[in-house]
Structure 1
Amino acid sequence: MMTAPSDTEGYTGGQGDSPDSPDRNRQRNLVDDHNHNQGQDDGYSQGHVTGTGLHPLHQSQGRYPRASSRRASAAPLNYDVPDDYAHLEASNISPVQNPDEDPITRLDTLERVRTRDRDYLREQRRKPLPPPQEPESSAEDYEREKQAGVVAKRQKVSRLATELYTISYLIFFSLLGTLARLGLQALTSAYPQSPIIFPSIWPNFAGCVVMGFLAEDRMLFRPDWGQQQPNPKKDDDDDEEAKDIDPAAAKKAHMALKKTIPLYVGLATGFCGSFTSFSSFIRDIYLALSNDLAAHGSSAAPVSRNGGYSFMALLAVTITTISLSLSGLFAGAHLAIAIATLFTRFDLGLPYTFVSRILDRLIVLLGFGCWLGAVLLSIWPPDRHSAQPEKERWRGTATFALVFAPLGCLTRFYASAHLNGRLPSFPLGTFVVNMLGTAVLGMAWDLNHVPSLGGVVGCQVLQGVADGFCGCLTTVSTWVSELAALRRRHAYVYGGASVGGGLALMVVVMGSLRWTEGFGEVKCIS
C-alpha cells in the first residue's frame, strides 16, 4: 500500500515502537528495496535515498524556498491508502520538471513511472520478504531522539476511514466543480457578441489552471506535512545533509506524499475533474461539424454552408480547446512556482492538525449532507410556488446536475484507479470514462431533442444527466496532464484516439438523429 515518504534516517516509528522490532525491519527493508530500485532507474545515487524513503523536506536548492531546515524525526503521515491511488492523474509527474531552467536536466515520463510502479508491485507479490537488516545507527538514533523528547506518536488512519474521507471529499468537490462549471458557462456565453460561442472552453481552461497549480505546488501540503518538528536548535549536519538531497528526487517524493492525502485527491480528482468536461468538448466538436453550434441564447437559424467550412469549424473547436487547456495547465504550474515564496513567508500552508482532526471528519457530514440537500431540492424545488410555476428553472439548471454529479465523479475515480496502471503508455481508465461519458451525453442530447417526446420533468432529468453525470464522469484536466506527461509519440496516439473515438461516437449517436428527423426544440429551460 502507498505510504507517505519519510525524511528520516534509520528509525521512523512512533513512541513505543522499538526500532529492532520485526515489523519495523520488514517495513524498512521493503521500502529501502523499492527506493534503491527507483534510484537506479532514475539515475540518482543511492545516497539520495535513506531510511524509509526519499527526503522530501530539504528543497532549498532551486527556486523553491526551503520550508524548514530541521530534520523531522516524527513518524510520517499514515493514511492507509490503496496502491491503486498511485494511478490517479499523471502519477508523480509535475507539469514543470525543470523550474530552475537548468541547461541540463533529466525529464521523467508517465510511462516510466507507471511501468516502474507496476513492476515493483508485481515483484513484491511474488518474492518472499527479505530477512530483516537493521541499520547500525537506527537504535542509537531512536534512543537519542527518545531522550530528546522528539519521537512522536504515529498518526494511524485505518483503510476504511481513509476511503471514507476520500469518497466524502470527492462528493463534496464534485458538487463544487459542477456548480463552478455551470456558473462559468453562464457567465462567459450569455453576453452579447461573445468571441467564442461554444460554452465548454472556459471551464476546461480554468479547471486545467487549477490542476496545474495543484500538481506543481509544494507549499499547500508541505514536504513535512503530518510530521511534528522538534524544538528548534542548531544542527551542524543540516546544511551538509541538504546538499546531499537531489531536488528532483525530493520533488518526486513530495508528489507521492500528496497522493496519500484525501484532501488533495478531492481537489485534483474531484474538483478539477468535475470542473472540466471532455464529453461537452466532444459535443461542441460535433455541433460545429453539423453546423448546429449557435451562440448561447441565439434564436437565429444557422446559415447553410458546405462541408469544407464545417471541417474548418471542427478544427477550430478542437485546436482552441486543446491549446487553451494545455496552456492553462502550464500557467497554473508557473503560478505555483511564482508564489511559492509568499506561501513560505506568510506560512500559508494547510495546517495538518486542522485537516486531519477536524476537516477530515467534518467533510463526511458536508459531502453526504450536501448531496442529500441536492436531492431534496430536486424533489421540492424552491421556485415551484413562484408566480410562474411553469417556468421552473432550478431543477433543469442545477439541482438535477448536482444529484448525478457525485455518481459520475466516483465512477471516474475508481475506473482511473484500477485501469490507468494497466497500460503505462495509454491511460486506459481516463480513456474509458471519457468514451463512456461521451456516449451517454450523446444519448441524453438525442432524447432531449427528439420531436414530440417526453415532458418538462423528463427533459430536466436528461439535462441533469448530461451536465452532472457526464460532466463529472469525463475530464479534460486529467487528460491534458497525461498528454503533457507522456512521451511525444504516445501522447499523439492517446490524444488522437480520445478525440477521434469520441467524435466517432457522437457521429453515430447524435448524427443518427440529426441527419434523419433533425433536432427538435428542447422542452425545458436549461
Structure 2
Amino acid sequence: MDRETHEFVPRRSGSFGRASSANSSLRRQSSNLSFAIQHLVDDDVESESISEAGDIGDRALYSRRYSESGRHRFSFDNVIENGVVVPIQEDAAVNTDSPVSPSTLQTISPLSTDAIHPSKDKKKEHEKEAPGLLKYGLCLLSLAIFGILGVLTRYGLQKLFGPHVVGATSDQSYMYPDVPSNMVGSFLMGWFGVVFKDDIAKVSDELAIGLSTGFLGSLTTFSGWNQKMLDLSCEGRWMFAFLGFLIGLLLAASSIVFGIHTAKGFKWLLIRLDTSSNGIISRCTSICNSHERHCLLTGLVVMLLTLGVLFSVFGILAKREFNSHSAEAQLFLACIVGPLGVWIRWFLARFNGRGGSLKWIPLGTLTANILAACIMAVLATLKKTVDTKNFDTVASALQLGLLGCLSTVSTFIAEFHKMMQSKNPWMAYAYASITIGISFILGTLIYSVPSWAKGYH
C-alpha cells in the first residue's frame, strides 16, 4: 500500500508540473501575441486617423461616437489557433478528464464578431443618428457659400501680391500667383481645421465643415499650383518648376505649423480669461442643442436666400462683362461654378481612411487633387488649340472656380503635417511625392507634350 502511494504521488506531482508549465507557456504566448496584435491594431488606427486628419466628407455629419474614426477595437487578450485570432476567456468550464487543473487553465473559444463589428442594436442606433435631409442640405449650402468666399479671397490675394501691386508673385517665377493664398489658407487651417475645429463643431457641424472644407479648401488650390509649374517646365524652366514645388510645399507646411502654435496660444488665453464653467462655446452649444430643429430651419432658409442672391448677382455681372473678356468676367463665372467643385471634393473626402492596407493615404484628397490637375491641363491645352476669346473666358473661369475649388492645399497640408507628427514621418514625404509626382507627370503628358509637338507658345 505504501509502495502504491509512494508511486502515486510523483505521478500527480509530475502531472501538476506539466500543467503548470503548459499554462505558463500558454500565458506567455497569449501575452506576446496579444501585444503583437494590439500593436498592429494601434498602427491601423493611427493610419486611419492620419488619413482623416483633413476631411472625411459627409461622414462628419454622423454621430461622433461612430464618425470620428469608424473604428471598433478589441482590447482583450488573444491567441491564435489554426491561423484565427481567438480570445482567452477565464472561468470557463473544462473537461475534468484533462490532465491540467481546471482552476489554472484558460480555455479558448471563437472570437466574438462584436469585437470587430458593431452589434445590430448599435447599427440601428447609428442609423437613427444619421443626418436628415435638412441637415445635409444645410451643409451643402454652407459649402457653396463658403466656397464662393474662398474663390473671391484667392482672387483678391492673387491681385494684391501680383506684379501690378506688391510684385511678390508672377507667372514667370517659382513664386507662383497662388503662393499667398496657399500660405494664408494653410495658416488658417491650423486655426479652424485643427485647433478650433472640434470646438466649432460642437456649436455647428455645418459651420465647421463650411469653414474648413468650403472656405479654406477653396481659398487654396493644388491644380493652379501644378499648372503654373507645368507652364514653367513647358518653357524649359525646369529648375524654376522644381523650386516652385519645393518652396510651395515648405511655405505651406511652415504656415500650418505657425497657425497651430498661434491658435493654441490664443485658446490658452481664452481659457484663462473665461474661467467660468459656462464659456462662450458651451453657451452657444447649449442654445443650438435646445433649439436644434428651429436653428436648422432658420439656417437653411437664410443660406438658401443668400446663395440665391449670390448666384443672381454673379450671373447678372457675368452676363454684362462676358463680351469684354475681362478678368472680372472670369471671376464672376468662377463664383457660379465654384460650389460644384466644393461639393465634388466633399463627396470624395468620404473615402479618406478607407483604403485597406493603404488607408494611411487620403484617397479622397489625392483623387480630387490629381483629377483637378489633369482637367486643368486639358483646359490649358484646349485654350491653345481653340484660341478664341469666348472659350478662353469660359475655360479660365472653370480653372479658377470649378478646378480651384475641387483641388486643395490646406487639406493636403493638414494631412501632410499629421503624417509628419506620426511614428512614421516617411509617410508624409511619400504622400507628397505621390500627389505631386502623378499630377505633374500626367499634366506633362496632357499639356506639355502637345505644346512641344505643336509648337505652342
* Residue of structure 2 in register with 1:414 after alignment: 347
181, 206, 227: which one pairs with 1:262? 206
Q: CA deviation at 1:455?
A: 3.9
Q: CA deviation at 1:290?
A: 2.3
Structure 2: how far apart are the matches of 1:376 and 1:126?
A: 51
Structure 2: how far apart are the matches of 1:330 and 1:262?
A: 25
8 Å Cα contact 1:205/1:324 also seen in 2 = yes
Structure 2: how far apart are the matches of 1:212 and 1:426?
A: 20
2:189 alignment partner, SS class: helix
Structure 2: how far apart are the matches of 1:169 and 1:378?
A: 18
* Residue of structure 2 in register with 1:500 after alignment: 437
Structure 2: how far apart are the matches of 1:193 and 1:269?
A: 29
1:196 alignment partner, SS class: coil
314, 318, 337: which one pairs with 2:264? 337
Structure 2: how far apart are the matches of 1:508 and 1:193?
A: 34
Are residues 1:205 and 2:183 paired? yes
8 Å Cα contact 1:371/1:402 also seen in 2 = no
8 Å Cα contact 1:219/1:340 also seen in 2 = no
1:339 alignment partner, SS class: helix
Q: CA deviation at 1:274?
A: 0.8
363, 370, 379: which one pairs with 1:428? 363
Distance change in 2, residues 1:115/1:267 (3 Å)? closer
8 Å Cα contact 1:172/1:366 also seen in 2 = no
2:260 alignment partner, SS class: helix
Q: CA deviation at 1:334?
A: 0.9
474, 496, 505: which one pairs with 2:407? 474
Distance change in 2, residues 1:125/1:39 (3 Å)? closer
Read off the aligned partner of 1:282 and give its amino acid letter.
N
The TM-score, its normalising length taken from structure 1, stands at 0.57
* Residue of structure 2 in register with 1:162 after alignment: 135
Read off the aligned partner of 1:90 and give its amino acid letter.
G
Are residues 1:281 and 2:216 paired? no
Distance change in 2, residues 1:158/1:392 (3 Å)? same
Range that drifts further, 373-382 or 435-444: 373-382
Question: RMSD of the alignment, in Å?
Answer: 4.0
Structure 1: how far apart are the matches of 2:114 and 2:152?
A: 43
**Cα displacement string for residues 223-256 of structure 1 (whole angstroms, at most 9, x for unaligned residues):** 9x46xxxxxxxxxxxxxxxxxxxxxxxxxxxxxx
> Which protein is bigger by CA-based radius of gyration?
2
* Residue of structure 2 in register with 1:384 after alignment: 320
The TM-score, its normalising length taken from structure 2, stands at 0.65
Distance change in 2, residues 1:384/1:214 (3 Å)? closer
Identity level (%): 20
Q: CA deviation at 1:394?
A: 6.8
Structure 2: how far apart are the matches of 1:114 and 1:490?
A: 24
Are residues 1:179 and 2:152 paired? yes
Structure 1: how far apart are the matches of 2:39 and 2:138?
A: 33
* Residue of structure 2 in register with 1:78 after alignment: none
Q: CA deviation at 1:131?
A: 9.9
* Residue of structure 2 in register with 1:327 after alignment: 254
Q: CA deviation at 1:191?
A: 3.1
442, 445, 450: which one pairs with 2:380? 445
Distance change in 2, residues 1:116/1:392 (3 Å)? closer
1:384 alignment partner, SS class: helix
Read off the aligned partner of 1:266 and give its amino acid letter.
G
8 Å Cα contact 1:200/1:284 also seen in 2 = no
Structure 2: how far apart are the matches of 1:128 and 1:359?
A: 32
Structure 2: how far apart are the matches of 1:86 and 1:157?
A: 24
Read off the aligned partner of 1:471 and give its amino acid letter.
G
Give the 4+ runs in structure 1 shifted more than 6 A. Answer: 37-43, 84-87, 113-116
**Cα displacement string for residues 174-199 of structure 1 (whole angstroms, at most 9, x for unaligned residues):** 11111111111111114367243210
2:361 alignment partner, SS class: coil
8 Å Cα contact 2:162/2:168 also seen in 1 = no
* Residue of structure 2 in register with 1:485 after alignment: 418
**Cα displacement string for residues 107-146 of structure 1 (whole angstroms, at most 9, x for unaligned residues):** xxxxxx99974455996597573999xxxxxxxxxxxxxx
* Residue of structure 2 in register with 1:191 after alignment: 164
Structure 1: how far apart are the matches of 2:397 and 2:166?
A: 28
* Residue of structure 2 in register with 1:61 after alignment: none
Structure 2: how far apart are the matches of 1:373 and 1:114?
A: 34
Q: CA deviation at 1:210?
A: 0.8
1:380 alignment partner, SS class: helix
| Unaligned residue ranges in structure 1 (runs of 5+) | 1-36, 44-83, 93-112, 133-155, 227-259, 292-306, 521-526
Read off the aligned partner of 1:445 and give its amino acid letter.
A
Distance change in 2, residues 1:321/1:194 (3 Å)? same
Structure 1: how far apart are the matches of 2:194 and 2:370?
A: 28
| Unaligned residue ranges in structure 2 (runs of 5+) | 1-36, 57-65, 75-111, 123-128, 171-175
What are the equivalent positions in structure 2 for 1:292-303 lying under 5 Å apart? none
54, 64, 74: which one pairs with 1:90? 54
* Residue of structure 1 in register with 2:397 after alignment: 464
Read off the aligned partner of 1:324 and give its amino acid letter.
L
Residues paired across the two proteins, number: 346
Range that drifts further, 332-341 or 199-208: 332-341
1:425 alignment partner, SS class: coil
8 Å Cα contact 1:88/1:417 also seen in 2 = no
Distance change in 2, residues 1:337/1:463 (3 Å)? same
Are residues 1:129 and 2:119 paired? yes
8 Å Cα contact 2:52/2:352 also seen in 1 = no
Structure 1: how far apart are the matches of 2:263 and 2:52?
A: 20
* Residue of structure 2 in register with 1:70 after alignment: none
Read off the aligned partner of 1:480 and give its amino acid letter.
I
Structure 2: how far apart are the matches of 1:85 and 1:116?
A: 7
